[in-house]
């Protein structure tokens, strides 16, 4: 990774292989995979009411929604939002 000319190609190849393995294992065990855009605001969106924050600092580890007063761990909130988005992408 110290060679900046090759760093991007090497890191991209690593993620490609990871994605390929996940897809292979999912099909092997009868599961499905849905791709969600990396620009999807999973951390900034409230999983309870759908309100989206304009800004969320990385140091904020607990998500607090000012709209519905819902409070949840930031990572759990993002996981719920990603699951819902993945299911909606799959359905369409």
Q: Could you read off the pLDDT of 4-57 as tens digits, one per residue?
A: 666 776 676 677 888 888 899 999 999 988 888 889 999 999 999 999 999 999
* 3-class SS of residue 73: strand
User: Mean pLDDT: which of 17-21, 64-68, 85-89 is highest?
Assistant: 64-68
| Domain regions of the chain by residue span | 1-33, 34-92
Which pLDDT belongs to residue 45?
A: 97
Residues 61, 73: contact at Cβ < 8 Å? Answer: yes
Strand partners for 52 = 45
Of 77 and 6, more confident:
77
Check: pTM over 0.85? Answer yes or no: no
């Amino acid at each position: 990774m110290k060679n900046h000319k090759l760093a991007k190609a090497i890191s991209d190849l690593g993620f490609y292989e990871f994605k390929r393995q996940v897809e292979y294992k999912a099909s092997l065990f009868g599961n499905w995979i849905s791709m969600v855009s990396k620009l999807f605001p999973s951390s900034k969106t409230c999983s309870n009411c759908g309100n989206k924050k304009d800004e969320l600092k990385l140091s904020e580890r607990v998500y607090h929604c000012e709209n519905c007063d819902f409070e949840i761990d930031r990572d759990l909130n993002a996981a719920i939002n990603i699951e819902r988005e993945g299911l909606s992408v799959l359905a369409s």
